[in-house]
Structure 1
Amino acid sequence: MTEFGKITYYSEISQMMFGFGDSHSPNPDTVRLVESILLDQLRTLVQEALKYSDGKNLGGEELVFLMRHSKQKMRRFVIYLRNRHNKALLQQPAGATDKQLLDKPVGELMEFIERIDETGEFTDLEEIDEVKFERQLRADRISLALDEKRYLEFCKARCRSFTSNHTIQRSLEKLRVWVDPKKEINFRREALDVLAYYAYQTVAEIVDYALLVRMDTKTGANPFDHLPGMYYTATMFNGKHQFQEENPDYSKVHSSQPQITVNEVKEVMRRIHTPQAGKLNFGGPLPETHYYLLSNPKYFN
């Protein structure tokens, strides 16, 4: 097909799922299902974004524009851009100027966000991002249970993304060919950067919601078990919720964490497609799935 051969992100997605809270060795069938969902998601995003361009050329602004209805998603992306900018400052070669750095695509995207941010809420980062906080809480609980070797593996998985620090251009080209194998669309570099960010966040949400589904099956009708954040920790344990005891047994976080199953992911997609059949939020605010996790009926049949 291409210089990449048969393109797959199986390895990357498997490690990301572990980093987000799945088993150390995710279920292969589940990983392949997530990969299939992700590819459909990215291709849908591209087609939606092309409506705001000439239909053939795609820049990063069109993809960022799709996030405009969710201030939290936009804020996470702003933080992502700022972190990338700070990293570029640290890695700039001798003699590089701030003007040269600001001319990079990351600067153009920030300027675009500021232009469409009429109320300033997209760049207001003082409000706590509960989803991000609870993901960090879950990672902290897992890390407490790991020995040195597994902890290093977990850290590596947490750093995995759809771009490689050493071969960014090649990574983005692989993503472009995966999404558009017939080369019908002209992607600008920043468009591929945003697409890689979307892909990463989609995998994170699938894992989040799969753990929500698992927590729902464990807790039954107990309303107190659906408090915000509970599923990020309680789903890591078999049997009794260990945080009810004085000395939590963190060892079960890693050694006994069951793999996320195909049926759990299918249930996630079913609930997103037909939310009246079962809430994913369990009493909290509705989950923000628009343009991160689109649904296709074929995934829950």
Structure 2
Amino acid sequence: MERLEPKYKLEIQQVTYNDKISNSSRFLTIAQMMFVAGETQDPSPDTLTLVEDIIRDQVIFLLTTASELAARRGSRIFSSQDLIFQVRHDTARVARLQTFLRWKAIRKTVRDDDEKAQLDLAAENIVDEALGGSSTDTAAKNTQSRAVILPWDVQTFFCEQPPGGKSNEDLIAESSVTSLGKLRWADEQTTNMTADEYIRWTEYRHASFTWRKAKRFREWSGLGTIADHKPTDDSLDILGFLTCEMVQKLTEIALSIQRREIITSQRMDMKPALSSVRNNEGPFATSSLERSAISVRHIRQAFDATQTRAKRQRMSLNKSSIQRALKLI
């Protein structure tokens, strides 16, 4: 398979950082995701390039594995379940992903209903009068979308599913702890923001590699060349969701590494005021702790931290190094 080269190498060599940010939508998207994760400084083009390369390798790994899983079923194209299957052990992430897909389905249903509302208004009134409002009850039930049932869930062992929202309750319970933690963190980050800064924050929270960029994302990731999917499924949205979380997680780990380095440096220099390093200050809070933007070294260390696995120490009979498989961030 021909190796796909990074897309923005030439641009980095030709333009400055500001021009790079304005001309490259990919770099702008990455910078926005890093901003939401807490990196309020301007990352260097080298840092953005490294993040792009890491995320792109992750996407290629996702697509390759999904294609292999589909081939085991005898299918030429992969499905959205082949992507979710790769993160099945991270129950919190699967729950967030299911919630994301559930709300997407609800928004689509509401949008379709709004488009047909004017045409069906008279007919619905006639049906309501004839059936005594049963159509309204049916519509209310339809808005309660069930959670996405995955093929490896216990519910698939049974032909009939119990009525009600039991699966939705389990989904909410599974993702509530992580979601509340993220909401609490976002509240702490935005506490000291001005109105303009908060508008910028809310705008950057919608940054995505795939939203209204499907063609560009396919060219960048090799989707359609490495593996392909049905245009009607949720695979593209799932990839956009996962890549956004990967960038933010990588940034958070890199910031924590940089924070530890600053604290260690202050201790070596016999400087006090370590109390200024707190998680609840927010990115716009005034602090005596001065720092620069996270560098390539911090991103590399953060990526290495995501690839480490807890394994028992084993005696090696030879000196040969074993190449470790790539692990999803």
TM range (shorter): 0.5 to 0.7
* Residue 127 of structure 1, CA deviation: 4.4
Structure 1 pair 243–110 and aligned structure 2 pair: CA distance change class (3 A)? same
Find the counterpart in structure 1 of residue 63 from structure 2: 46
Aligned match of 1:185: 227
Aligned-partner Cα distance in 1 for 2:282–2:216: 44
1:22 aligns to 2:22 (yes or no)? no
The one of 112, 116, 121 equivalent to 1:95 is 116
- Do 2:29 and 2:208's aligned partners in 1 also have CA atoms closer than 8 Å? yes
Match of 1:162 among 197, 209, 230: 209
8 Å CA contact 2:39, 2:293 repeated in 1: yes
Over 3 Å counting, the alpha-carbon distance change for 1:243 and 1:213 in structure 2 is closer
Cα distance in 2 for residues equivalent to 1:178 and 1:248:
33
- Is the 1:45–1:291 Cα contact (8 Å) retained in structure 2? no
Alpha-carbon displacement from aligned partner over 1:213-243 (angstroms, at most 9, x marks no partner): 23433556xxxxxxxxxxxxxxxxx953348
Match of 1:280?
A: none
Distance 1:139 1:33 in 2: 26
The residue that corresponds to 2:153 in the other structure is 117
Give per-residue Cα distances to partners, 1:269-295, cap 9 Å, x unaligned: 22333457xxxxxxxxxxxxx9541xx
Note if contact 1:17-1:203 (Cα within 8 Å) is conserved in structure 2.
yes
What is the TM-score with the length of structure 2 in the denominator?
0.62
Residues 41, 64 of structure 1: alpha-carbon distance in 2 compared, 3 angstrom cutoff: same
1: CA distance between counterparts of 2:283 and 2:93? 34
Q: 1:268 is matched by which residue type in structure 2?
A: A
Q: TM-score, normalised by structure 1?
A: 0.67
CA root-mean-square deviation: 3.9
Change beyond 3 A, Cα 1:60–1:250: closer
Where structure 1 has 5 or more consecutive residues not aligned to the other structure, the ranges are 221-237, 277-289, 294-301
1:85 and 2:121 aligned: no
Alignment gaps of 5+ in structure 2? 1-6, 9-23, 121-137, 156-166, 265-271, 311-325
Tell me: CA distance 1:25–1:260, structure 2 relative to 1, closer, same or farther (3 Å): same
Q: 1:135 aligns with which of 157, 174, 182?
A: 182
Match of 1:13 among 30, 43, 46: 30
Which residue does 2:257 correspond to in 1? 213
Is the 1:78–1:110 contact (alpha carbons within 8 Å) kept by the matching residues of 2? yes
State how far apart, in whole Å, the 2-side matches of 1:18 and 1:185 are. Answer: 31
- Cα 1:28–1:142 change in 2 (3 A) is farther
Mapped partners of 1:134, 1:58: distance in 2: 33
Q: What is the number of equivalent residue pairs in this alignment? A: 245
Is the CA contact 2:38–2:283 (under 8 Å) kept in the aligned structure 1? no
Judged with a 3 Å threshold, the aligned counterparts in structure 2 of structure 1 residues 156 and 259 are, in CA distance, closer, same or farther, namely same
Whether 1:195 and 2:212 are equivalent positions in the alignment is: no
Letter in 1 for 2:152: I
Per-residue CA deviations over 1:6-28 (Å, capped at 9, x if unaligned) read 78621111111101111153333
Whichever residue aligns with residue 16 of structure 1, its letter is: M
Q: 1:252 is aligned with what amino acid?
A: T
Distance 1:248 1:35 in 2: 26
Q: Which amino acid aligns with 1:186?
A: D
